[in-house]
Amino acid sequence: MKSIVFGALLIGAAPVFSQSMVQPLPSQRVSLSASATVQVPQDELTLTLSTQREGSNAQEVQTQLKTTLDAALTLARRQAQSPLMSVSTGRFGLSPRHDRNGKLVGWQGSAELVLQGRDFVRISQTAGQLQTLTVSSASFGLSAQVRQEAQSQAQSQAIEQFQKSAAEIAKGFGFGGYTLGEVQINANQVGPVRPYMMAASVRSASDETAPVPLEAGLSQVSVNVSGSVQLK
């Protein structure tokens, strides 16, 4: 996909005050842009697991959350191996509960554990083993390596298209070629980066470590090249 804008400016001759005065030359400058998109499979998974607790005492609720999270961390770290799977904590917090009259009646809190990496099987099986936590969300994306490779590929295609368009425009207007002016290159990653909301129960009675069902999608990496050329 490309958009091309052509503009030419002819600078007229100024009044002659001296025979040695140099007249300005016409200027033929073209502004154009070209873009390319590469579609690649998502190779990185972020799985968030959470637990909730509530009670009348804030300290007790916090202690329950911490105990549950520490146990899950200990188990998950046994399977951690970068870049296949990393383990980290997510949100951890408490909030008061009030009745309709505004009176404090208790506390509720939640804690999160985040599994992230490129080994989908390892991550899903680890999540299935964490029986004190439930999967709250999952998202897929691109690892830094795959994103960089896709960006380089899209950039090469966009530059090639930019050069081809500039040459065609120069030829179409009767010029022999062009010189490159100012150029800008912008890259971005677009979806679909699909979020998955998981059911609270992902295990069966016969298999307490059943992996969480997951399916990755595709991401698109786009590069746009825009700038100007001087026809000659």
Closest to 47 (Cα-Cα) out of 218, 198, 191, 201? 198
pLDDT at 209: 55
* Tens of pLDDT, residues 65-102: 999 999 999 999 999 998 999 999 999 999 999 999 99
Evaluate whether 51 touches 134 at the Cβ level (below 8 Å). Answer: yes
* pTM, rounded to two decimals: 0.71
pLDDT at 125: 92
Closest to 42 (Cα-Cα) out of 189, 192, 218? 218
Tokens of 6: 């052509």
pLDDT band at 192; cut points 50, 70, 90: low
How many angstroms separate the CA atoms of 43 and 65, rounded? 32
* Tens of pLDDT, residues 5-32: 333 333 333 333 333 444 444 568 999 9
Average pLDDT on 153-158 reads 96
* Tens of pLDDT, residues 39-62: 999 999 999 999 999 999 999 999
* Tens of pLDDT, residues 94-114: 999 999 999 999 999 999 999
Q: 90: which residues sit within 8 A by CB, 6+ positions away?
A: 48, 50, 111, 112, 113, 114
Is the pLDDT higher at 214 or at 105?
A: 105
